[in-house]
Amino acid sequence: MVELLQQVGAVLAAALSGELRGEALIKRCTEVAEELRRASTGEATVPHEVWHFLHDADLRVRDPANAKVQLERIRSILLLAR
């Protein structure tokens, strides 16, 4: 489980830095969300906003305004976690 949560953190960091964008971001977020689902942990393991971020990657690519809001929420969550 720790490794999976590290993967979640890596995806969030890559998205915030702009390293992952477009189809690559959709693919990686979908993979990590599926791994969380298979681990039967889903939202219970990560904050709701993180689960939402992973699940809605395709929406962020199509809607830059939504992307900006979600990225700011994730940035705030990560800052609070420090």
- Domain residue spans in the chain? 2-81
Distance CA 57, CA 11 (A): 11
- The tens digit of pLDDT for each residue in 36-53 reads 888 865 555 788 888 889
Distance CA 45, CA 56 (A): 17
Distance CA 42, CA 16 (A): 21
Helix axis angle for 2-17 and 64-81, nearest 10°, is 130
In this prediction, what percent of the chain has a pLDDT beyond 70?
91
- The tens digit of pLDDT for each residue in 15-31 reads 999 999 999 999 999 99
